[in-house]
A and B are shown apart, each in its own frame.
Chain A
């Protein structure tokens, strides 16, 4: 079946257009729904403030909508664009642009809804119109930061739609598709994560209107740290789009695809997770303004540890892009590269988000009881360290996939074994990472309330985390069996 490139490009643009608005609509709709739900609850508590609440809800929803509007613009462009000289790269760019914009708008839409909802609830708590004004301002600033991943994604999308990419090769086409998914997936987590500080700062503003400047500062710092994974993802995406990867062997195409997916997935958990300490720090400021120093420090420390899985993902992505693997046979190395990328990328989701939840609990605990800062921080670091373990298993399996010598195969089975190993450890890391984070969260919360029993609580946390780890260990066993035993 011989498809000419013009037809292929049209097919690609329609698929891309569908992805752009399809994914992009999800986030904004959910976020606006959250805002409306909170508005309803607020009105039921204080019906006389109806007009204030509705106005706030509509303004907040409008900002959340903007991500979906970016996605709509890109989708319409994709539907009606007619490139002059379509090559296979143009077709790849259409799909990539759709994926980038759609997925990138998903997180931002969701994340922007959170502050809108919280702002509506916060209106109930205050009578002072000046405080109301300041709170709306903070909501808008927070929502604006939340839109950053969608804006980055739109920039990358437009670049993909309108730039020329040089010689059409399979490797370059794969690089472009990888870049699109990398930017798109990478934006999801940061979009969601930046919403938490924004939302909590609205609530904090009504409790402590005098320190509105400090609250805004902490919120901006927290949201900025949350953006880091999205920025890493954009860097990798731009590298994939513009670096000339030299003498293209077909297997390099799979390596680049693996790199893009790795960084894309890997940024989700860390982005969303680092929003939790930011949010908890803002909420803590509202409860206990004197603890600002401790809250800022712990927010930064917790969020920094939270970035680790995203950094592992970036390391694997860079290795896939730049390490010269020599003259390796396409089969089974295509599966080894793709599996290596998916493995670390997926496993990073759980560890990133779980570590972030633990950091959030730490800030919450400090706000409650500032004098317990030492033991709470220790518990957080221990809990986060254990939560990183699934991602480290993923990294280990990825390294084995990359650097073990796989003998050339003429049948399909060895490739599927390698890909299966990558998927197994990748997916298998998500649940335990999340579970370890959830267990650590409660342990930290209760250490703050009950510091006498900190030792007991930490022991409990470690036991719980160890049991939660079990399925990650099963996954690693199966992955190692797939890698070393069956073929």
Chain B
């Protein structure tokens, strides 16, 4: 199996995309879960404010999502553009 330069680069983009999205998914996953946990606790303490609390949770989770989106963008760039 002879490895050419071009091929090696292409191979690297695939592994890079996999690692980027794979590792990048860990943080938002755990972080959004923690936000959800605290939101459930808050609703348990104060059910009347459910709407406000849900909205806050979603805003918080969206911010946490941002790095996950960055990873997705980088992965897509690696796969289709570079």
Is the C-beta of A37 less than 8 angstroms from some C-beta in chain B? no
- Measured CB to CB, the closest approach of chain A to B5, in angstroms, equals 11
Q: Which residues of B contact A472 (CB under 8 A)?
A: 25, 29
Q: Which residues of B contact A435 (CB under 8 A)?
A: 28-34, 36
Given contacts A443-B37, A446-B44, A478-B79, contact A464 B32 (CB under 8 A): yes
Q: CB-nearest residue of chain B relative to A437? A: B33
Given contacts A413-B10, A435-B34, contact A461 B25 (CB under 8 A): no
Contact B11 A413 (CB under 8 A): yes
Return the CB mask of A408-435 against B: 1 if under 8 Å, else 0: 0011110111011111111111111111
- Cα–Cα, bound, A59→B16 (Å): 48
| Option from B22, B40, B61 in Cβ contact (under 8 Å) with A461 | B40
Residue from the set A427, A472, A477 with the largest chain B CB neighbour count within 10 Å = A427
Is the C-beta of A7 less than 8 angstroms from some C-beta in chain B? no
Contact A432 B29 (CB under 8 A): yes
Q: CB-nearest residue of chain A relative to B32? A: A468
CB proximity to B under 8 Å, residues A430-471: 430-439, 441-443, 445-447, 449-450, 452-453, 456-457, 460-461, 463-465, 467-471
Segment of A80-88, A133-141, A233-241, A479-487 in the binding face: A479-487
Contact B44 A475 (CB under 8 A): no
Contact B44 A461 (CB under 8 A): no
- Cα–Cα, bound, A425→B35 (Å): 23
Contact A453 B47 (CB under 8 A): yes
Contact A449 B44 (CB under 8 A): yes
- Measured CB to CB, the closest approach of chain B to A29, in angstroms, equals 25
Contact A439 B1 (CB under 8 A): no
- Measured CB to CB, the closest approach of chain B to A435, in angstroms, equals 2
- Measured CB to CB, the closest approach of chain A to B47, in angstroms, equals 4
- Measured CB to CB, the closest approach of chain B to A469, in angstroms, equals 8
Count B-side interface residues using an 8 Å CB cutoff. 54
Q: CB-nearest residue of chain B relative to A441? A: B37
Q: Which residues of A contact B79 (CB under 8 A)?
A: 478, 481-482, 485-486
**Count of inter-chain pairs, beta carbons less than 8 A:** 214
Contact B7 A413 (CB under 8 A): yes
| Option from B14, B36, B37 in Cβ contact (under 8 Å) with A467 | B36
Count A-side interface residues using an 8 Å CB cutoff. 64
- Measured CB to CB, the closest approach of chain B to A375, in angstroms, equals 13
Given contacts A411-B4, A431-B30, contact A423 B44 (CB under 8 A): no
Contact A464 B36 (CB under 8 A): yes
Is the C-beta of B52 less than 8 angstroms from some C-beta in chain A? no
| Option from A412, A428, A461, A464 in Cβ contact (under 8 Å) with B21 | A428
Q: CB-nearest residue of chain A relative to B21? A: A478
- Measured CB to CB, the closest approach of chain A to B7, in angstroms, equals 4
Q: CB-nearest residue of chain B relative to A419? A: B15
Q: CB-nearest residue of chain A relative to B26? A: A431
Is the C-beta of A350 less than 8 angstroms from some C-beta in chain B? yes
Q: Which residues of A contact B8 (CB under 8 A)?
A: 412
| Option from B12, B21, B31, B38 in Cβ contact (under 8 Å) with A442 | B38
Contact A417 B14 (CB under 8 A): yes
Given contacts A450-B44, A453-B47, A482-B14, contact A475 B30 (CB under 8 A): no
Q: CB-nearest residue of chain B relative to A418? A: B14
CB proximity to B under 8 Å, residues A389-425: 390, 410-413, 415-417, 419-425
Contact B61 A464 (CB under 8 A): yes
Contact B12 A471 (CB under 8 A): no
**Could you pull out 18 A-B pairs where Cβ atoms are within 8 angstroms?**
A410-B1, A411-B11, A412-B1, A417-B11, A419-B14, A419-B15, A427-B25, A428-B22, A431-B25, A438-B34, A439-B37, A442-B40, A443-B37, A446-B40, A460-B39, A464-B57, A468-B28, A479-B18
5 other A-B residue contacts (CB within 8 Å) besides A425-B22, A453-B47, A474-B21? A427-B23, A434-B30, A435-B34, A442-B40, A464-B35
